[in-house]
A and B are shown apart, each in its own frame.
Chain A
Amino acid sequence: MVVPLISIILLAPLVAFAIFALSGIAKRTFPRQDLLSTAAMLIALICSFILLRDVVPEPEPLAVDWISIGEITISMGFYLDSVTVIMLIVVTLVSSLVHIFSIGYMHGDPRYPRFFAYLSLFSFSMLFLVVSDNLLGIYIGWELVGLCSYLLIGFWFEKNSAANACKKAFLTTRVGDIGMFIGMMMLFTKFKTFSLFDGAQDGIFTRAAAELATGDIVWLSIAGILIFCGAIGKSAQVPLHTWLPDAMEGPTPVSALIHAATMVAAGVYLTARMFPILTFPSSLVIAYVGGITAIVAATIAIVRFDIKRVLAYSTVSQLGYMMLAIGAGSYVAGLFHLTTHAFFKALLFLGSGSVIHAFHAMHSHSQHTHGHDEAHADDEAHEHDDLSLVHENLVHEHGSEIPPDQDMRNMGGLRQKMPITFITMLIATLSISGVPFIFSGFWSKDKILAGVLGRAMEWNSIHHYILFGLALCAAFITAFYMFRLIFMTFFGEPRNKEMHNMAHESPWVMAAPLIILAVLSFPVVNTIWFNKDYVIPPKQPHLHAPQHASVSPDTKTGDAKFGFSFFGVSEAQAADEVGGKNGEKADAAYYIYKRAHNIAMALSIFVAGLGILLSWLFYHRRRFSAESVATTFRPVYNLFWHKYYFDEFYDGVLVALTVWKSRLFARFDLSVIDGIVNGVGFATRRVFAAIIGYFDRRVVDGIVNRVAEVTWAAGGRIRRIQTGAIQTYLFVVIGGIVLIILIFRAL
Chain B
Amino acid sequence: MTLQHYLVISAILFSLGIFAVLTRKNAISILMGIELILNSCNLNFVAFSRFVSIPDNPNNIDGQIIAIFGIVLAAAEAAVFLAIILAIYREFGSIRPDEVDTLKG
Contact = CB atoms under 8 A, between A and B. Distances in A.
A and B touch in the complex (CB under 8 A): yes
Interface of A: 719-727, 730-731, 734
B22 A724 contact: no
B97 interface: yes
Contacts of B18: 734
A727 B97 contact: yes
A725 B97 contact: yes
B21 interface: yes
16 contacts: A719-B105, A722-B104, A723-B104, A723-B105, A724-B102, A724-B103, A724-B105, A725-B97, A725-B98, A725-B101, A726-B100, A727-B21, A727-B22, A730-B22, A731-B22, A734-B22
A726 B23 CA distance: 11
A720 B97 contact: no
Contacts of B97: 725-727
Dominant secondary structure of chain A at its interface with chain B: helix
Interface residues of B, number: 12
Interface of B: 18, 21-23, 97-98, 100-105
Contacts of B103: 722, 724
A721 B103 CA distance: 11
Contacts of A722: 103-105
Nearest to B23: A727
A732 to B, nearest CB: 11
Contacts of A723: 101, 104-105
B17 to A, nearest CB: 11
A734 B21 CA distance: 11
B46 to A, nearest CB: 24
Nearest to A735: B22
A721 B21 contact: no
Given A734-B18, A734-B22, A727 B105 contact: no
Contacts of A724: 100-105
A727 B105 CA distance: 15
Contacts of A730: 21-22
A725 B21 CA distance: 13
B3 to A, nearest CB: 21
A722 B101 CA distance: 9
Contacts of B102: 724
A354 B101 CA distance: 100
A727 B103 CA distance: 13
A638 B9 CA distance: 128
Contacts of B21: 727, 730
A723 B99 CA distance: 10
Given A730-B22, A731-B22, A734-B18, A725 B105 contact: no
A722 B103 CA distance: 8
Nearest to A715: B105
Given A719-B105, A722-B105, A723-B101, 7 more contacts: A721-B105, A723-B104, A725-B100, A725-B101, A725-B104, A726-B97, A734-B18
Contacts of A731: 22
In the complex, the 8 A-B pairs of residues with the closest C-beta atoms, listed nearest first: A722-B105, A724-B101, A724-B104, A719-B105, A724-B103, A725-B98, A725-B101, A727-B97
B99 to A, nearest CB: 8
A413 to B, nearest CB: 106
